Structure 1
Amino acid sequence: MNVSYRNLSLCCTVLASLVVVPAYGQGVVTTREGGANASLRSKAGHAPATAKAARPAPAATDAQPHSNVEQIRVTSHGITTSNGVNNLTPGGGLMPTQTAPRSQSGVTRDFIAKQAPTANISSLVAELPGVNYSSQDPFGLTGNNMTMRGMTQAQIGYLFEGAPMADPINYQPYTSMMVDSENLGSVTVSQGSPDMDAPLYNAVGGQISAQEINPSHHQGGFVDLAGGTHSANKEFIRYETGDIGNTGIRGFVSFSHTSYNNWRGPGGLFRYHIDSKFVKEWGDGNSISAIFSYNRQQQTAWRSPSLKQWKQYGDSFNYDGDFTRGDSLFYGLAISNLNSQTIILPSHFTLAKNLKLHVTPYYEHQFGPSNGGENIPTTGGYMGTQQYNSLVGIPKGTGSILTESIDPWNQKSSSLNMSLDWTAGHNKLSVGYWYNYTTHEELSTFNRVFNNGSYSNSPIVVADTGRILTGYDLNFKQQVNTLFIADTLKLLHDRLILSAGFRAAMVSRTGTNNVPGADPYYKAGNYFEPLPQFSASYRITKHDQIYINGTTAFRAPASVEAYSQIFDPNASHAVEQPGSLKPEYSIGEEIGFRHSGFYNVAFSLFNLNMTNHQVTSLNYIPGTNQLISEPINIGGQTSRGAQIEFGLRRWHHISPYLSGQYLHATMDNNFNAGGGNYLPTAGKVAVESPRFTGAIGLNYDDGTFFGNFALRYVDSQYTTFMNDEKIPSYITSDIALGYRMKKLGPAKAPQIQLNIMNIGDNHYLSGGSSFTTNAHPTRTVAGNMYMSNGVAKTSAPVYLVGGAFAAMVSVSAGF
């Protein structure tokens, strides 16, 4: 295990210090509107239900993931918060009550508000069972990766307010673009299957649903100012309109700025973000919400080492801080941008007492560019398969010239998701339709780099043809049509709930590559997948539930690279060929048990079988620093295991949490490496599938002083199909400490909070960036050496470097 005695000692010391704290009595929670709830803990130790939200999340979560009432809360002994903390969720916000007939976990404001204000959705769910979060950034803002049950984040469906937020083609979630953590109300993780009505076509590995907080009924706002190590800072402000006259409309608008210097290597990040949400409510369950977000973000890319490079250089394997002529590794050339504009309009209408309509139109625009340095030939290079003699404005005979390779990807997606619920007695029938239209344009260019490291705004042109020099000129279009029907029957006084449904997903794609010699120039993919689901749950007692389910899901091939070749001026042929166009298909089964109350337990067993499982690997274009997405079809995969979590409701201001998972994920087939070579991979452990993962959480909050501790363990993980290279297991831990006041002048419930990430300063590899067949010489199924041009063929994976120690202090208050 890659953990030092110092790291383990620090973790144990912090854990002990949070346990040994003075105990105070519990109070009575009242909202600012003056209504009082029952005590936090009844004589039987069970918390009461809280106010209903205007629109519940798609699946049942905590009693109050995002309440309509104002975020400021007061208890009888003086607890006041301006950030939404109410201390009602078991496990310190890590175990909201669940009732869905499947494995499901979540986090609420009780946990979210006590994390660093830079945290994103992926980093916030790292303690939940089955989640394997690979950090590169200790602040949790960017450069991260996640798997669940051996499935990558590109195989997990991401929803924000009911709309899919991942890239609709390569499925990367880019969670830092979605929402500021100060505006995030709750996150729900379904480890095995998506909702029947979810607008997703990639969720073979589960679903993550995020909900924004609802606007307050009272005018006011919230300010959060933070600063930390590595020159990190964040400034956030939210203005609440409150109820606008008698219109039934209320809303908020927020703005934030974030920046930091990279914790390893030169460069850094800046981010500007806007969130807004307006709600109109009337009658019995009628509401229309208007949600808008804007994100502008730029970051110096992280450089990924091989295992050999990591052992030799450690954290110092980075881009160069100073520019020298011809240096393609200069950090100023390795820039990535994540920009987006999002509009979501969730609407809910009660057409009749037993008939409800749900309509969610949305639009998202995501665009780059992503850049990297590359030396290209001044003469004799290639555009596609055509060799060029010279480049406009570039002297001949200089051999090569340093350029900035620019990938200005531009993607727009529009959708409409509708469903109709009809209830008759104990039966509810739901039907729905989802339509999506996506366009994607991607024209790479090469711009000349000057002697000071800056680069031209004009792309280089081939003198022979007058065309812009490019490695790919892609135009991609996609249409999705999905229909579903589901029926839910409640029996035995609603204790037995049976649900069955059928979903038909139709995806149509076309792509062209307008580069000379591209073969094929045009390629299309059409997919029709039937997706049945069944579930049953039985409430044994008021606090105990058992469930069983059988689900299916599919994923259309990931990334435009699955349809188009990629070229480079240094190669006479394509440096990447189109991947497999077969869709993934999964069949899963789960059986589980839950107990809710003073102590909360959730346990489940799962089995997942996949065909045409595609491992998405990020690899460098040969001879460059440009990462491209490469889908690899490894055939079948089976994932089996068990997960458990335990959380205690607040007891003497303390709320502990435990989670864990055992996973046995294996490849079902021998891998076809091409050229008649089959590698003996059947029965090998799947990549990125740690056998054991677990987390310990401990929360203390007496209303004035509060603290939060989290420790995560991740077992070793293979990164090659032949299981001949892996990264060691590791432990990381974080801590939060804070102090609140009731009031300070005009400031309502001001507080100061310290977050320390990776308190043991553990230096480790957190996951794989690329995955390969074998890192060392190996033999094929036929017993021959796996060879290429007479040499044993090997390929070393590259890795994500886990974020080291970082700290951040934040000061926040309501107004």
Structure 2
Amino acid sequence: MTLSNRRKWKNILQCVVFSSALTSISAWAAPATPPRASTSKPQPATKARRGEAVRSPLAPKVETISVYGQGSTRQMTSVTSSMLRETVPGTSPMKALNRLPGVMYQSADPFGAYEYSSSLFMRGFSQAQLGFTLDDVPLGDQQFNNYNGLSITRAISTDNVSGVDVSQGAGAIDVASTSNLGGAMQFHSRDPSHKRGGNVEQTFGSNSTFRTFVRLDSGDLNHTGTRFYISYARTSLNLWKGGGYNYSDQVNAKFVQPLARGSSFKAFFNWSSIQQFDYQDMSLNYLHTVGSHLANYYPDYGAAYQAALGNFRPDIARSSDPLDAAYYAGTANRQDFLGGMTLNENLNDHLNWKTTLYGHGDSGYSTWTTPYTPSPNGSPLSVRTQNPGILRGGILSALTHHYGANTFNTGVWYEYGQFTEGRYFSETPLLGQGTLGNPTDHFPTGIFANPWNEKFQTSTFQFHIQDTYQITPHLKINAGFRSMVVQSGNQVLNQDSSYNGGNRVAQGRLTASNAFLPQVSANWRFLPHNELFFDVSHNMRAFPEDGYGTNVAATPWTTNQKAFDATARNLKPETDWVYEGGYRYTTPLVTGLLSAYRMNFSNRLQLVSTGPIVNPVTAVQNVGGVTTNGVEGSVTIRPLEGLSFYNSISYAHSTYDQDVQTSGGLEPTKGKLIPNYPALMYKGVIAYEWRNLNVHLDGNYLSHRYLTYTNDTKVPGYFIANFGARYRFTKIPALKNLTASFNIYNLFNKTYVATTGELGNSFSGSPQTFMMGAPRQFFGTVSVDF
């Protein structure tokens, strides 16, 4: 048996043992007869917002995972704040969603804070093909070099997230997103407390982790309930391998003014600043020759200088490409301002008008010390810098009218955005005459070249209309459509063809539009606790934007002017049809979900080189489609008060529909599985709450993932487990709600590949395009209210 096969069977065995343990304990702990219904007064269910999932009155106080969208006409999963609190404070909320069936989240660090490595897939679609909002405000496509939004970790501190609604098939048609092909994640912030006070939280842990969080709540300032909060979070941790760190500062503030008839006015302001060092991108060759702890040279400038001259360390010299195995450093520095206000007005008992105004500004830079462009002073190194910037603002406005058995909803979304980006090269000192120091604390000086500067301007307009018709008390149908027009174009403000391979940078405009993107869904509660649902939707993604030669995002503007002109006239935006159906079972003892889906993805965009091999033309082209068939199952069992078990399994078969013609010949991609996403995933969680103690153990198995479009290389599957415990002290009067928590990430210290495809994927070979996951990590937190 080969080493890879032994690893495969070991992972599967661990997964089976973990699953069997949960099932066995559940069977042992389950009472012979269902427990009596609670005699406590049930809390009223929250009114559904335009057909979204609501928390079931049957749902218990403690949830290992979520509420499965009881009553929703789509597969909706409502993740609660209690689930988010099981992670280490400051962990990306998207990492908490990794427990959901069909969802895969990866990051090179345990927090999910290193944004470049943050990668989320849902039913085979990457985060660039999903929709993300915060309190209805669009967050763009969550890519690292975002052109129309920002990551959720920069948008809000995890401590201030009250919940997440996840639509795994297709997002609601009123979601403000131009990338919503395969589902949506709608994050919600907590409202200020009615009681004056606050919270202080301190986290310590591996890699010199030190995180401080402070929140102050004003409480009700008058009889109308006017209130606000303001919070500050500071996170500092070192990389788990190599030199460098990850710093972030965040300020969140929110104001709430209740109005008559249950209406409200809310305003928020969020600011964040991050400075991050990169983990090095790996290849299979580097993994096998140098090892999983391969890292950049920082702060050893001399080693990076010698490597650029061809003098490598012995371990790196053994690799197939020692020049690319490590660099001095790669870094990122970003600042964001995000603000908005929402008027939610109940005009009468049947008519609601909700309007949100928002604005967002982003600035910063990223650096890479490259051995491929020497400095004019004779140094074999230079610093390549890019400085993306975003200025955008928009409005969302919608009317909801309840008339008999119908709930009509119609609205518009408009956004104008400006995205700027430039590339620069700066000198590095000669060996013995200084070092580069810390690239995150200042924009590089000594600029000797400016290959290009670009400015993109984008106008987005979306209109939607839908109706939810309650045919009988147990049967309802939702139907509607949205219309979308996204006009994008760029201006090349400056370019130097000598640093662009003699090419002119692409400049031009593209429009992605579709007047009729329908969605039809239904829910039938055919027996008490039992319901069926189905959903059919048609979706479109606007053309992504990025600068010349970036080659990561499939953006039409990454190429030269000649190739852009040749392809732009026939280029089509990506679209898909999503079909899903499922069954839900909801009782106090058991909550279950089973769903099946099919997705037909068309007009896929990919960077392709065509023409003669001696002089190929590289451009983004439509290269066909992808067909996905999948099935997901989840069950939560609550045999005793405070005890719950969660298991989920998902299988997805996503294959390319056509071969792709390139300058190197016909690439045999037809029938091949998509890279970066596993066909099989299992997730399991056991959680127990007894008095003031809460403990949980979760496990996650992923099958192998392919690195290339032709499936000739792959990374092995793995099983990883995490542990957490939290205890609230109630007998210390001077310290209100004093709570201590302890978390272990990667409990069994598994060596595994985390993020893949962060630099794109190749047709074949062993691309340098994945990152290793962090080893076992320990974190402790102490928090107290006042």
The TM tier, using the shorter chain, reads: 0.7 to 0.9
Report what 1:386 is aligned to: none
Report what 1:707 is aligned to: 695
Pairing 1:568-583 to 2, within 5 Å after superposition: 581-583=571-573
> In structure 2, which of residues 765, 772, 776 is the aligned counterpart of residue 805 of structure 1?
776
Which stretch shows the higher mean deviation, 449-458 or 605-614?
A: 449-458
Q: Is the 8 A contact 2:545 2:557 kept in 1?
A: no
CA distance in 1, matches of 2:65, 2:383: 46
Matched, 1:181 2:144: no
Pairing 1:4-19 to 2, within 5 Å after superposition: none
Report what 2:763 is aligned to: 774
Report what 2:313 is aligned to: none
CA distance in 2, matches of 1:256, 1:660: 36
CA RMSD of aligned residues (A): 3.4
Report what 2:517 is aligned to: 531
Q: Is the 8 A contact 2:659 2:670 kept in 1?
A: yes
Report what 2:222 is aligned to: 245
Report what 1:156 is aligned to: 130
Q: Which secondary structure state, in structure 2, belongs to the residue aligned with residue 308 of structure 1?
A: helix
Residue 542 of structure 1: CA displacement?
3.6
Change (3 A) 1:87 1:100: closer
Q: Which secondary structure state, in structure 1, belongs to the residue aligned with residue 640 of structure 2?
A: coil
Q: Which secondary structure state, in structure 2, belongs to the residue aligned with residue 176 of structure 1?
A: helix
Q: Which secondary structure state, in structure 2, belongs to the residue aligned with residue 345 of structure 1?
A: strand
Change (3 A) 1:663 1:241: same
One-letter code of the match for 2:592? V
> In structure 1, which of residues 483, 497, 505 is the aligned counterpart of residue 463 of structure 2?
483
Matched, 1:661 2:654: no
> In structure 2, which of residues 336, 345, 357 is the aligned counterpart of residue 349 of structure 1?
345
Which stretch shows the higher mean deviation, 183-192 or 159-168?
A: 159-168
> In structure 2, which of residues 55, 70, 77 is the aligned counterpart of residue 98 of structure 1?
70
Q: Is the 8 A contact 2:681 2:701 kept in 1?
A: yes
CA distance in 2, matches of 1:358, 1:616: 41
Q: Which secondary structure state, in structure 2, belongs to the residue aligned with residue 125 of structure 1?
A: helix
Q: Which secondary structure state, in structure 1, belongs to the residue aligned with residue 290 of structure 2?
A: helix
Q: Is the 8 A contact 2:148 2:390 kept in 1?
A: no
Residue 745 of structure 1: CA displacement?
3.3
Pairing 1:103-118 to 2, within 5 Å after superposition: 103-118=75-90
Q: Is the 8 A contact 1:264 1:315 kept in 2?
A: no
One-letter code of the match for 2:43? T
Q: Deviations over 1:244-287 (max 9, x none)?
A: 12243112111011011101221111110111111111222311
Q: Deviations over 1:104-135 (max 9, x none)?
A: 22321221112111211210100100001222
Q: Is the 8 A contact 1:93 1:109 kept in 2?
A: no
Report what 1:762 is aligned to: 750
Residue 596 of structure 1: CA displacement?
0.9
CA distance in 2, matches of 1:108, 1:682: 41
CA distance in 1, matches of 2:41, 2:130: 33
Report what 1:228 is aligned to: 205
Q: Deviations over 1:283-330 (max 9, x none)?
A: 223111112211101110111111111122222221013111736788
Unaligned runs of 5+ in 1: 27-40, 66-85, 380-393, 463-468, 568-572, 618-628, 777-794
- Structure showing greater relative contact order (alpha-carbon pairs closer than 8 Å, 6 or more residues apart): 1
Q: Is the 8 A contact 1:18 1:698 kept in 2?
A: no
CA distance in 2, matches of 1:616, 1:542: 52
Residue 160 of structure 1: CA displacement?
0.9
Change (3 A) 1:521 1:173: closer
Pairing 1:127-276 to 2, within 5 Å after superposition: 127-142=99-114, 143-166=117-140, 174-276=151-253
Q: Is the 8 A contact 1:417 1:432 kept in 2?
A: yes
Greater fraction of residues in helix: 2
Pairing 1:273-312 to 2, within 5 Å after superposition: 273-312=250-289
Report what 2:436 is aligned to: 453
Corresponding residue pairs, total: 721
One-letter code of the match for 1:302? Y
Which stretch shows the higher mean deviation, 580-589 or 690-699?
A: 580-589
Residue 746 of structure 1: CA displacement?
2.9
One-letter code of the match for 1:814? D
Q: Which secondary structure state, in structure 2, belongs to the residue aligned with residue 639 of structure 1?
A: strand
Q: Is the 8 A contact 1:556 1:582 kept in 2?
A: no
One-letter code of the match for 1:88? K
> In structure 1, which of residues 614, 636, 641 is the aligned counterpart of residue 630 of structure 2?
641
One-letter code of the match for 1:673? T
Report what 2:550 is aligned to: none
CA distance in 1, matches of 2:680, 2:699: 14
One-letter code of the match for 1:730? Y
Change (3 A) 1:416 1:171: closer
One-letter code of the match for 1:707? V
Q: Is the 8 A contact 1:439 1:475 kept in 2?
A: yes
TM-score with structure 2 setting the length: 0.85
CA distance in 1, matches of 2:30, 2:708: 54
Residue 370 of structure 1: CA displacement?
0.8
Q: Deviations over 1:555-613 (max 9, x none)?
A: 1122324243479xxxxx999x9999421101011111111112000111100001112
> In structure 2, which of residues 423, 426, 441 is the aligned counterpart of residue 444 of structure 1?
423
CA distance in 1, matches of 2:748, 2:16: 7
Q: Is the 8 A contact 2:45 2:55 kept in 1?
A: no
Identity of aligned residues (%): 23
Q: Is the 8 A contact 1:25 1:652 kept in 2?
A: no
Unaligned runs of 5+ in 2: 309-323, 498-502, 548-554, 609-617
Change (3 A) 1:58 1:252: farther
Change (3 A) 1:371 1:458: closer
CA distance in 2, matches of 1:121, 1:631: 32
> In structure 2, which of residues 474, 477, 491 is the aligned counterpart of residue 498 of structure 1?
477
Report what 2:614 is aligned to: none
Q: Is the 8 A contact 2:229 2:253 kept in 1?
A: yes
